Structure 1
Amino acid sequence: MTPSAQVYLVTGVTDMRKSIDGLSLIVAQHLEMDPFSESWFIFCNRHRDKLKILFWDTNGFWLYYRRLEKGTFKWPTPTHDGALHISKAQLNWLLSGLSIEHHRAHRPLNNLTV
């Protein structure tokens, strides 16, 4: 699934024990945003090896969870307002292990032979 609207990184640290209700409260109360919008909200833990993505779709919430077995996500420095708007490309970079500040990622290689 790909985002159909805005993508926001919730900067800082989030307790990954929180589920849909707890994360949607963070969006509504701390970020003062609408969790029922089509926006994606991405949360990360202290060790930066776990992510949760929360978004509303028609009649219910989706909650994606990703845990890295090795390595960490290149999470940005916390901002004063608590959220950072990123592009869909930057989301893909983050999920691929790159920093969102990169302007270019490595191009994929296809149809290689030995």
Structure 2
Amino acid sequence: MIQVTPQMRILVAVAPADFRKGIDGLARVCRDVLRQDPFSGYVFVFGNRRRQAIKVLIYDGQGFWLCQKRLSKGRFPWWPHSESEATDRLQAHQLAVLLSAGDPTAAQGAAAWRRVDGGAPE
């Protein structure tokens, strides 16, 4: 089982992926199109052309996981658009919203980093 944690670095591919590809094909997309190392520990998220399915590729140190979710009705309403970038970044809580067919940009969450103040007098 894969647990999405706040420390995970998540990249969403902007362009649709060919969903006939498996682990090796998507790992090549990571290298050639996204310019990222598929062994880097990033969580790579791909969508198909009709936005009815999502594939998630992750390397856990021992091997690759490839997960797919296909909606039985409707489409994923949000997907990043960029003329210049091949990827968009998401936070862990945003990925959970995306996988639930929601809009991750509307998801509110705590800041990824915040200063811890020891309460010492100044």
TM-score, structure 1 as length reference: 0.84
In the TM superposition, residue 5 of structure 1 has moved relative to its aligned partner by 2.2
Identity of aligned residues (%): 34
Structure with greater Cα Rg: 2
1:68 is displaced (CA, Å) by: 0.6
Superposed CA deviations along residues 56-111 of structure 1, whole A, max 9, x for unmatched, are 01221000011111011122224522111110011011111211210449xxxxxx
Residue 77 (str. 1) matches residue 81 (str. 2):
yes
* Structure 2, unpaired ranges of 5+: 110-122
Structure 1: where are the runs of 5+ without partners?
106-114
Aligned length: 105
Partner of 2:113: none
TM-score when normalising by structure 2? 0.79
The CA RMSD over aligned residues, in Å, is: 1.6
Q: Is the 8 A contact 1:38 1:56 kept in 2?
A: yes
Per-residue CA deviation, residues 29-56 of structure 1 (Å, 9 max, x unaligned), is 1111110011100000011011110010
Q: Which runs of 4+ in 1 moved over 4 A?
A: none
